[in-house]
């Protein structure tokens, strides 16, 4: 069973992409809706929450885990890999690699929560890529011993790549309140994107799994900028991994079953979940 967790229901965008890339695989999802958002929490608390989320998924039969939360991926990924024994995938490295492969002017923007932006995780990953070896060795970047090396574009170009960050703390609550077509959302989004436009980025990483919901709005405001959906990229990373690790792939049930758990269920959460996943689902409440 593939386990996926997020601080809320934004990680359902990852579920959606995994279902596209790996149809038929059993999935279990946990959204920590009682403690969302993680983006304004301390690093130690984020690590504690992430470990509790992962342990819940393991207790329900998960054989590998996707951290479908950029904040937890940025702050707690190494901590999780040191404390649980199954493969753990984060959403930062796949998105950054995609951006490096797509950028033409080596100016890449990232929007995310404050915790993601302040974590230094993207910079750490980029610095590892800017080393002497013209490949990504994930053990140097994020220490997952199970991942294979991947080739990247010309090393001299990687060395020239610059990252530009913008914290966007208001976007998650606006998305979860379904304020997608409100003028205030458009104004706030313009405010967040303007500094990145001024830096003349040609590629933007959506550093939160909520943001694919407003990807079309972002693309309208950043014409000619390529937008990277981290949910799509980590799903491809998982598919590649399973293709090279047949024993793990064989251990995963493929009965097309999926269960969805949350730590708190509010009246409108089911509607929000449908918005993220594209279908109505049964949300089960569980206390960690």
Name the residues annotated as catalytic.
69, 208
Contact 75, 48 (CB under 8 A): no
Token couple for 37:
């958002």
Pick the closest to residue 171 from 183, 187, 188 (CA basis): 188
Q: How far apart are CA 6 and CA 89, in angstroms?
A: 12
Contact 230, 99 (CB under 8 A): no
Scan for tokens 């951290």, then name that residue.
67
Distance of CA 50 to the CA centre of its chain: 14
Specify the 3-state DSSP secondary structure of 199. Answer: coil
Q: How far apart are CA 64 and CA 88, in angstroms?
A: 6
CB-based contacts of 100, cutoff 8 Å, min separation 6: 108, 129, 152, 153, 158, 161
| Radius of gyration from C-alpha coordinates of the chain | 18
88, containing H or E segment = strand 88-89
What b/e sequence results for 158-177 when a residue is b if at least 16 CB atoms lie within 10 Å of its CB, and e otherwise?
A: beebebbbbbbbebbebbbe
Scan for tokens 């304020």, then name that residue.
179
Q: How far apart are CA 1 and CA 84, in angstroms?
A: 16
């Amino acid at each position: 069973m593939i386990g996926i967790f997020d601080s809320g229901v934004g990680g359902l965008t990852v579920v959606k992409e995994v279902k596209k890339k790996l149809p038929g695989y059993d999935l279990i999802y946990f959204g920590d809706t009682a403690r969302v958002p993680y983006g304004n929490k301390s690093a130690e608390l984020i690590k504690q929450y992430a470990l509790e989320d992962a342990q819940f998924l393991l207790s329900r039969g998960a054989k590998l885990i996707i951290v479908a939360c950029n904040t937890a991926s940025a702050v707690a990924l190494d901590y999780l890999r040191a404390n649980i024994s199954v493969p753990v995938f984060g959403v930062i490295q796949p998105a950054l690699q995609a951006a490096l492969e797509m950028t033409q002017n080596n100016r890449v923007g990232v929007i995310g929560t404050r915790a993601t932006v302040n974590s230094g995780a993207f910079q750490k990953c980029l610095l590892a890529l800017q080393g002497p070896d013209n490949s990504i060795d994930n053990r140097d970047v994020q220490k997952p011993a199970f991942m294979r090396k991947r080739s990247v574009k010309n090393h001299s170009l990687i060395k020239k790549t610059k990252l530009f960050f913008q914290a966007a703390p208001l976007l998650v609550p606006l998305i979860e309140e379904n304020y997608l077509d409100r003028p205030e959302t458009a104004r706030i989004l313009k405010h967040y994107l303007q500094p990145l436009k001024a830096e003349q980025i040609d590629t933007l990483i959506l550093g939160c799994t909520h943001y694919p919901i407003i990807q079309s709005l972002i693309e309208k405001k950043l014409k000619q900028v390529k937008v990277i959906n981290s949910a799509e990229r980590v799903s491809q990373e998982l598919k590649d991994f399973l293709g090279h690790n047949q024993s793990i792939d064989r251990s995963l049930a493929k009965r097309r079953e999926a269960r969805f758990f949350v730590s708190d269920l509010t009246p409108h959460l089911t509607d929000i979940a449908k918005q993220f996943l594209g279908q109505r689902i049964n949300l089960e409440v569980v206390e960690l």
